[in-house]
A and B are shown apart, each in its own frame.
Chain A
Amino acid sequence: MSKIMTVDILSSIKGAKPSDSVNQLFDVIKNANKNTTLNTVLTNVVSLDDLRPDEVIESSAIEKQIIKENFPREKNGFLVVAKVIED
């Protein structure tokens, strides 16, 4: 099933439309030359030997307390979320 997603839906921003100023930047990219022979060196790639341990780190009591203070809506110590409706 094909469904076209407009930018307002993709961005979760009501009534959002592409900007002319930003589109002018994208036009520059479209018209630029691509180098197909370039050997990319991915300098920010992390080595497998250097990955951090895959383990759960318990938050401190103060961290948990502040996270709860940041809840947009709270009920009986739990975060209240909107009901999910699939369409």
Chain B
Amino acid sequence: MDSQIHKIHQELVNKEISCTSLVQEKLNLLKQNTHNSVNSLLEEIALTLAKKVDDKIENGQEIGLLEGIPFGIKDVYMLQGTYTTASSDLLKNYKAAYTATAIQKLLDAGAIPLVKENCDSFGHGSSSENTIFGAVKNAINPDLVAGGSSGGSAVNVAKDCTVFSIGGDTGGSIRQPAGYNKIYGFKPTYGRVSRYGLMAYASSTDCVGPIAKSIEDVRIVLNVMSGKDIRDQTSYVSEAVSADSKATPIKTVGYYKNFIDSDAIGKEIQTDFLTTLEKIKAQGIAVRALDFFDADILVSTYYTLAMAETASNLSRLDGTNYGARIEGSNLKETYSITRSENFSEETKRRVVGGNQVLSQGFSDEIYLKAQNLRNQISARFTEDFKEVDIILSPVTPASPPKIGESLQDPLAMYLSDAYTVGFSLGGLPALTIPKGTSTGLQITADKKKDAEVLQFANFLNEIL
């Protein structure tokens, strides 16, 4: 699909549509909330900003490319004065006191926020069912899950309720729902976009990224959000990704053969992926099979570290300074009841798991060993990217499950992240495109080579 941002920009400039009518139309769609994708609407803010854009156009002033473009925000980002719930009981009445850097940059560019979007509570899930706002329904088949944790964001984009949405990706939370809803979702290199104002799940892999209907829209939004931020010391200075889709020739594509030879992969996804590789070879690009870590090692390493980090990050949520406090007989009792009653079962499972691995007697055997495994995985990526320019993989081993199935089997849910978590541990840029298999393809390049990922996506769009 062509860029929605360019199309709407031209329509606004040519006065074919007004920004107010555009925003109102999207708000009307969101109000129906047919797929449980909405946590709260930002109607007043959106209409006020839309009128300013219309006034500017009416006065003959130029508008920027993102000015007047409506977008959605996963409900884990701070936007000053708006409810920021993380889809949790604990923060259901919490209002953000400040605005996340990535969101502020979009506001500064004139984009218009419409909605805080449903997601798995604190990012804890792969189906967007672990939420107090109702399970998010898949945009293509509402009996199926939307994927997660940025499920509401993916569905809003797929259903044209937002032009783009900002998701958060810790272990696949942008890429997997993008695949399940047949749109584009990009996890940039770790640190390219500031995490300031994103509620922390696992700080060492948390990434801010765009979900959209075209590669060009992903590129535009990525460029606006990227950059060094003094308030996130892991962020770095980056060059804008150019619109030139043929800047660096891609000569060799690798794939992990154990992902494809696995018993866990669906037959159709396996066949479609191998067919895609043949089409790439037919274009004169070398395709190389690579060895990689077993899926259970990748998933276990990721979840061990993510649980340890979330146990630490969520320890601040005790109902003292903010959150839905439930009074007990003393301080410890107050903490304990507040957290027991207000955290979901999945969040409790992860917090407890994290405290297990961080506790004395277990940290050497599990946590530190998982850190060692992460270093091994990163070292393998470094070696692999000496041999290949791009690594291609399916996004998921299987099609989206029915709503209700994932909650019954947490281990199966964790294992469904097998193809995305490894790249998160490596901090690599990875993009889902809705082509190649029923849940899309995942394109990954070496660190800071985000431009090559988007460039190869453009190439695949031409040949698939």
Contacts and interface: CB of A to CB of B under 8 A. Distances in A.
Contacts, number: 164
Contacts of B304: 25-26, 29
A40 B355 CA distance: 25
A17 B80 contact: no
A37 to B, nearest CB: 10
Contacts of B311: 11
Interface residues of A, number: 49
B71 to A, nearest CB: 22
- By secondary structure, the B interface counts as helix
A22 B301 contact: no
B300 A26 contact: yes
Contact of A70 (B95, B330, B378): B95
B352 A11 contact: yes
How many chain B residues sit at the interface, stated as a range, is: 35 or more
Given A21-B414, A25-B304, A26-B357, A85 B376 contact: no
B356 to A, nearest CB: 6
B254 to A, nearest CB: 21
Given A43-B427, A44-B234, A72-B323, A63 B98 contact: yes
Contacts of A1: none
Contact of A14 (B80, B230, B234, B340): B340
Contacts of A11: 311, 339, 348, 351-352, 355
Interface string B317-331: 011111111011011
Q: Lowest 5 A-B CB distances belong to which pairs?
A: A72-B325, A28-B300, A14-B340, A22-B353, A21-B411
16 contacts: A7-B356, A11-B355, A22-B352, A22-B410, A26-B357, A26-B366, A34-B369, A40-B375, A44-B204, A51-B233, A52-B231, A63-B98, A72-B320, A79-B320, A82-B334, A85-B330
Given A32-B373, A67-B97, A71-B321, 5 more contacts: A17-B352, A52-B231, A70-B97, A82-B320, A82-B334
